Chains A and B, each alone.
Chain A
């Protein structure tokens, strides 16, 4: 059966598979990490500027409509092929959902909470760190979760610009019409995506402050 053939392929080429898997995870994790490190602080900095937030959300919404493969491909004439260009493109793909969710979440924090906190004598930083960010965390994390799936999914396409990863098996499989190889790429990639979604869903629930969890 096809699955058995696919499994045998992995057994026959353990190094190749492990290499592709590692690259895939590394690419995804790095892109996600970079995107979080950039998008969340920007969201926080823009929090008290209405126009700034609107601008950021508009820009991010624009970015979100762009087809993933188009973004990856357009990086190639600029940065060439390989791990780094792929990382660059994937980070770009991960930024919009995180930025949108961070901005929206901070905007939606109940204004009375901020008023009470300021009125009691918290500094701006204290209000942000002790009240706004914790209350906004669930929505911010939902954005990170969305971005994680998008990144793992995009990393499959990174194969086209020489980024490596599990997509290599899929493209090779299609090119040679070798179905087992196809599955060697497709199934682990799917599992990774589902795994990321599950992991960040779990983190989201864990990081939601106890007092705010849905009962």
Chain B
């Protein structure tokens, strides 16, 4: 832990990079999944096609996916972000679609009966009520994305993985510890915070 004391700035930089690419990927995935998810909620065909395709993407091993993108986009953050978005889409589209579908039909019916337009119903009724499920999906996606970002350091995307890889190739255990434990801590912290938000949303809905 002496190493940490002397090099905490290095760790912070890595942590910062990690958070930036993760957040970017999640933001992109979130908006994409909202659009596709809403479409999928309305159409059984879109739903099944979207789930099948993104499910296929999700099964691809992380490192293999990054590697397969190299001939196309080379190394670096763009590669990593594409991979992270692809993985997140599977979970998020499914959760957006399912979340909207699970809104009780009688609630939507009442809204329509009161003269609300489709877009109003979506914005004021369906999405708010689907929020707990959507956040549950966001939670899983976040953890996944943080995990991918650790590996993506190997293709020059930066992040906490750089510490780990440096530690492994130089056989320098402190770097492995710091890199490994910090990324675990980041993942757990993100998961717990989102879990709390999810719980709060569910309570509000009751």
Do the two chains bind? yes
Task: Give the interface size class of chain A.
Answer: 35 or more
The 8 A CB mask of A169-201 against B (1 = contact, 0 = none) is 011011000010011011101100110010000
Are the CB atoms of A73 and B151 closer together than 8 Å? no
Q: A74-B177, A74-B180, A194-B56 are in contact. Are A153 and B62 (CB under 8 A)?
A: yes
Are the CB atoms of A156 and B61 closer together than 8 Å? yes
Indicate if A76 sits at the interface (CB-CB under 8 A). Answer: yes
Give min CB distance, A81 to chain B, whole Å. 9
Which residues of the other chain, B, contact A37 by a CB distance below 8 angstroms?
none
Residues 58-82 of A contacting B (Cβ, < 8 Å): 62, 64-71, 73-74, 76-77
Indicate if A56 sits at the interface (CB-CB under 8 A). Answer: no
Which residues of the other chain, A, contact B56 by a CB distance below 8 angstroms?
194
Count of chain B residues with Cβ under 8 Å from any Cβ of A? Answer: 36
Closest A residue to B165 by CB, please name it. A160
Residues 53-77 of B contacting A (Cβ, < 8 Å): 56, 59-65, 67-68, 70-71, 75
Which residues of the other chain, B, contact A194 by a CB distance below 8 angstroms?
56, 59-60
- 9-residue interface stretch from B28-36, B116-124, B129-137, B182-190: B182-190
Which residues of the other chain, B, contact A185 by a CB distance below 8 angstroms?
64, 67
Are the CB atoms of B59 and A197 closer together than 8 Å? yes
Q: A76-B168, A186-B68 are in contact. Are A174 and B154 (CB under 8 A)?
A: yes
Are the CB atoms of A70 and B164 closer together than 8 Å? yes
Are the CB atoms of B70 and A179 closer together than 8 Å? yes
Complex A-B: 27 CB contacts under 8 Å: A65-B184, A66-B147, A67-B146, A67-B150, A67-B184, A69-B147, A69-B164, A73-B164, A73-B168, A73-B180, A74-B181, A77-B173, A77-B176, A153-B62, A154-B61, A156-B62, A174-B155, A179-B70, A179-B71, A182-B71, A183-B67, A185-B67, A186-B63, A187-B64, A190-B61, A193-B59, A193-B60
What 13 additional pairs, Cβ within 8 angstroms, besides A70-B181, A185-B64?
A: A67-B184, A70-B150, A70-B164, A73-B180, A153-B61, A153-B64, A156-B62, A171-B154, A186-B64, A190-B64, A190-B65, A190-B68, A194-B59
Residues of B within 8 A of A (CB): 56, 59-65, 67-68, 70-71, 75, 143, 146-147, 150-151, 154-155, 161, 164-165, 167-168, 173, 176-177, 179-181, 183-184, 187-188, 191
